A and B are shown apart, each in its own frame.
Chain A
């Protein structure tokens, strides 16, 4: 047994901008234990409920995360809508699904780029981000913001997507699909990519279940969990099957996310084909929420959990957000055991950590 020492990793480090801090107990070059600590960027968003009313909280919830902002807003609104017994118009549901999937696409493309950057393939990194830019353009054109949408409200959505815009989205989807096919080949078959990803950081389905991991991280180990199957927004009308892999290594995580981008393209096409023609976008909401509800939505990084409790006043009594990264940290620490120090950056990256939203 070699001499043990502790290497503090983060909160600032070269791989990713997320301020994750982990104490790595190493023995020679091998990690034997990883101890996480979070709390560097706590913002206290949840406690704002006693100073902001439930409509204003939509905008606060949305700003929990800069990448899956739309799904945060949607999760919160759906929770409040359930409490108040509001039935959202169909078109609003389809629009929510559309925007949720563009968010997933750009988030996964961002991650694929960062992964390429993580193993030192700069060119591939630029390719991913160049494609991502097209998705961001769709978002800016339809919602007015590249990342923060601000189109959700309790009772529906605020903006419509015109027919011309839908056509533009379909055309962009074709372009993105063509370009992604080239990138996909490289990710899946390139020798140098494989040598960094295959067989690294393996977690079995039992470990994933025991540690409660969610999202693509869990699906890459063969655990078929996808909250979209619960049927919120317009997902009951959409035909899709969650993508899983059985390998549980970094390569499988890359595979799952890459295939999910293609799946999102497919879902967006279905949404546009089935988009209801009615022009109602929102229903008027009267009164204040009284009651509680648990809402689960599938974000790009996995299951996000919203607990909302209202007491009949404009201010909610409690709002609790559990973000996917929070659920994935125990899995991450397990995965880091017995790995080489040089792989740590890449391994942390493969859970797609979003520490800012974890600490809210």
Chain B
């Protein structure tokens, strides 16, 4: 009789502690790999926009001039493609799901002023260097031209 086979299991269940937990009173421990939400260490971001182009949902946006990175948490499907694509590895997928909310909010991360200033300085330096290099090149070209003109005259 199969009912006899199931009866011990059913009786056992009466005395086992519940399989379910009383979340959120008893917090859930997520495994390390759990794909909860995206976090960014914003000061490492170079505003390249690779994550924006990778995201299948179009939840991300980057503003290089303002130094911001923003995400619509509600639209994110926690796929982790942006994390994979980021060249600076400044995005991470961390455990812990988003709390549900009544409306869509865009979360904006802003780079610190020091980093912005440093970046600005770097950009200026790079621009100057490029200018100098261009000037040097032009000079070299002019010299070569002059030389070239001299040669056939001989």
Contacts and interface: CB of A to CB of B under 8 A. Distances in A.
Interface of A: 52, 55-57, 59-60, 63, 123-124, 127, 130, 133, 140-145, 148, 150, 153, 158-159, 182, 185-186, 188-191, 193
A150 B6 contact: no
A185 B6 contact: yes
A60 B6 contact: no
A133 B3 contact: no
Nearest to B8: A182
A124 B2 CA distance: 12
A150 B2 contact: no
A144 B80 CA distance: 10
Is the interface on chain B under 10, 10 to 19, 20 to 34, or 35 or more residues?
Answer: 20 to 34
B9 A56 contact: no
Contacts of B13: 123
A144 B19 contact: no
A191 B3 contact: yes
A130 B19 contact: yes
Contacts of A186: 2, 5-6
A33 B16 CA distance: 48
B33 A190 contact: no
B19 A133 contact: yes
A98 to B, nearest CB: 15
A56 B56 contact: yes
A182 B80 contact: no
Contacts, number: 65
9 contacts: A56-B54, A56-B55, A60-B56, A63-B77, A158-B80, A158-B84, A182-B6, A186-B6, A191-B3
A55 B80 CA distance: 12
A63 to B, nearest CB: 7
Contacts of B9: 127, 182
B77 A124 contact: no
A189 to B, nearest CB: 4
Interface of B: 2-3, 5-6, 9-10, 13, 19, 30-31, 33-35, 54-56, 77-81, 84, 93
A212 to B, nearest CB: 33
A185 B35 CA distance: 37
Interface centre among B10, B55, B77, B79 (most CB of A within 10 A): B79
A188 to B, nearest CB: 8
Interface centre among A158, A159, A186 (most CB of B within 10 A): A186
Contact of A182 (B5, B55, B78): B5
Nearest to B33: A144
A141 B19 CA distance: 18
B115 to A, nearest CB: 30
B81 A56 contact: yes
Contacts of A189: 2, 5
Given A130-B19, A189-B2, A191-B3, A145 B35 contact: yes
Contact of B33 (A55, A141, A188): A141
Contacts of A193: 2
A60 B6 CA distance: 42
A144 B84 CA distance: 15
Contacts of B84: 153, 158
Nearest to A151: B80
